[in-house]
A and B are shown apart, each in its own frame.
Chain A
Amino acid sequence: MTSLSVHAPGKAPELPGKRLSFGERRLKLDCGVDLPGVTLAYQTYGTLNAEKSNAILICHALTGDQFVADQNPVTGKPGWWQVMIGPGLPIDTDRFFVICANVLGGCMGTTGPSSTDPATGQPYGLGFPVITVGDMVRLQSWLIDHLGIDKLFAVIGGSMGGMQVLQWAATYPDRVFAAVPIACAARHSAQNIAFHEVGRQAIMADPEWRKGAYQAEGTNPSRGLSVARMAAHITYLSEAALHRKFGRNLQDRSAVTYGFDADFQVESYLRHQGSIFVDRFDANSYLYITRAMDYFDLAAQFGGHLPRAFKDTKTRFCLVSFTSDWLFPTSESRAIVHALNAVAANVSFVEIESDKGHDAFLLDEPEFFKVLRGFLDGCAELRGIR
């Protein structure tokens, strides 16, 4: 394993990168709590131009982080979207100023359940208020204010990142020139809530979870978190991809062992995915962030009518889905397109042929790259970015 350090919850403040602390300023959360002492951890790439017109905000997915285009200090691996963001790449850091912040509730430096509760001096644990995608975006807007940017050139994200993109476009339509929601939905489906619940139950069933107080008690519910990750990981792939990668191949053996060892390669692979995940993620963060996704229902914020979320929008949208993504299938993107058409918004929608499932948005998919590059180039021309 390539981990540089085991990421024990609470160690996030020591991670490298930029921090913005808001001290006594209270973040108004959808649940009714006013959260004080909020810190936001973020990274930037490229240079903000004099007009401040070339900023792109990248929103990360459930288990992503702010290290989108440079080496992840916890895993030592390249940034999660380093194939997409960099000099000469579709999101070209020679042209654009790229910002990516760890979400509220995260465990990579932004305030979350593993942070210290200023009221008690102890880690929040389950004392952390339940957060929403709307709360995440509200906090990001503070960062954009701090950077002196009135209008983002683009907000881009996949999966939960795509939900944030939609929320940005709905809440701050005048601050988003272009929006790229990728492999996402305007509301989390029953099936997806169900998968999240399995993950949460796995964590909470781990005796080391200690009702969320594992930091104070010096335990770590890594088995539960690892099972949650294994279940989730299946949803990120596709039947075709699993079959192509593993089939029914056996792991380092020529016959099944009539036991419960990892006989099959696919089992061994999932166990590995689970075990490396717990080194970089916090179990309570997993509970809180999956909950935020479950609660996401953009139409509900606008009287149950999704087009109302985008009324009179001037934002240029580009939605992307992938053929084999069954977690956020094309029909979800299409529903958003229908809503955008209902308000005659400027919208592009492409479905990319891929057998790699939901994870395709993180991978080198040439057609996807071509489309995103073209969309951003077209928008940059209109925005006057050279």
Chain B
Amino acid sequence: MAIEVRIPTILRTHTGGSKTVEGSGSTLGALIDDLDSKHSGLKDRLVTEEGKLHRFVNVYVNDEDVRFTGALDTEVKDGDSVTILPAVAGGC
């Protein structure tokens, strides 16, 4: 068992074109570190220099937006499904 991670189209350049990859870790932050070790460059796209999740990216663990569950500290476990999406917003 592992954690399944769905990758948005533009970030599939880091995963050899794969739509879904697998990783492990006890928190979202650890999972992203694990993914980055296999898919180099992924972490830089998701996490800012200050170590925070990029504000223009939405990440969900199962159905929950991690913004409301502790961001990178959100706990994850085998069998969870993580989805990464571009935030869609703007204004005049």
Q: Do A and B bind each other?
A: no
